Chains A and B, each alone.
Chain A
């Protein structure tokens, strides 16, 4: 059962890490847009 849970946990860890990277890129882009708007 440990292998099963490890596989399922690893799957969601990979997906959550990727979603996190998208969220970071969104924030960075929003900051760039607001910075260029201030100039």
Chain B
């Protein structure tokens, strides 16, 4: 294992521990919802991290379509896989937060529905990559990723375009979040981003070694049995 990876992993662990402490202890208790509002510090950063990973998937897919770069293809696969993990966290923590606050686990609200559709698109993308064996798999997956990425801005901006049960943005334009809460939110986002990057790094190395091994095995088989006639 590279020393840089180990050092980064230890720093990420420290940051995640501090972020958890900040979410549970440092952040003030919200007046209306009480302690359950602290789910916000995991739910929102996970959503932002998933959006960034899906955007990376989009960029890498476009690069693959232009240059047919194997590295870009691996980056696209890895970012989609880790993005789906973070999107799963969003879809699980959301209903757990909604139940005590809205009184329901789920509603077919535009923000919730588009997020579920986003998750399904990238699950379909990963299934395509996993089960398709043709030589055009990477190309078809890249095209699907480009179309799938259209849902990311739709999810993000849906709360501006449509009437929705989901809360409005709390930071940035029109936001009214307490400065301490905003600080804790950003710490948690930084921690999840570092964690996401670390997982992508690890997954990228695995995929690279896997492809190199498959290539070597294919070459060995070719040398052993000769070229197919």
Residues of chain A touching chain B, judged by Cβ–Cβ distance below 8 Å, are 1, 3-4, 6-8, 10-11, 14-15, 18-19, 22, 25-26, 29, 32-33, 36
Contacts and interface: CB of A to CB of B under 8 A. Distances in A.
Contact of A7 (B20, B43, B199): B43
Nearest to B210: A29
Contact of B36 (A3, A14, A22, A33): A3
15 contacts: A1-B35, A3-B39, A4-B36, A4-B39, A7-B92, A7-B93, A8-B20, A10-B96, A11-B92, A14-B85, A15-B85, A15-B89, A22-B202, A36-B213, A36-B217
Given A4-B36, A14-B92, 11 more contacts: A1-B36, A8-B20, A8-B42, A10-B89, A11-B92, A15-B199, A25-B206, A29-B209, A29-B210, A29-B213, A36-B216
Given A10-B96, A11-B92, A26-B206, A32 B213 contact: yes
Interface of B: 20, 35-36, 38-39, 42-43, 46, 82, 85, 88-89, 92-93, 96-97, 99-100, 195, 199, 202-203, 206, 209-210, 213, 216-217, 220
B96 A7 contact: yes
The 10 closest A-B pairs by CB, nearest first: A7-B96, A7-B39, A7-B93, A18-B85, A10-B92, A3-B36, A11-B89, A3-B100, A11-B42, A4-B36
A22 B99 CA distance: 32
A21 B92 CA distance: 19
Contacts of A7: 39, 42-43, 92-93, 96-97
A10 to B, nearest CB: 5
A11 B99 CA distance: 17
Contacts, number: 61
A26 to B, nearest CB: 6
Contact of A22 (B39, B42, B203, B217): B203
B10 to A, nearest CB: 16
Among A4, A6, A14, the one with the most B-chain Cβ atoms within 10 Å of its Cβ is: A4
A18 B96 contact: no
Contacts of B43: 7
Contacts of A22: 199, 202-203, 206
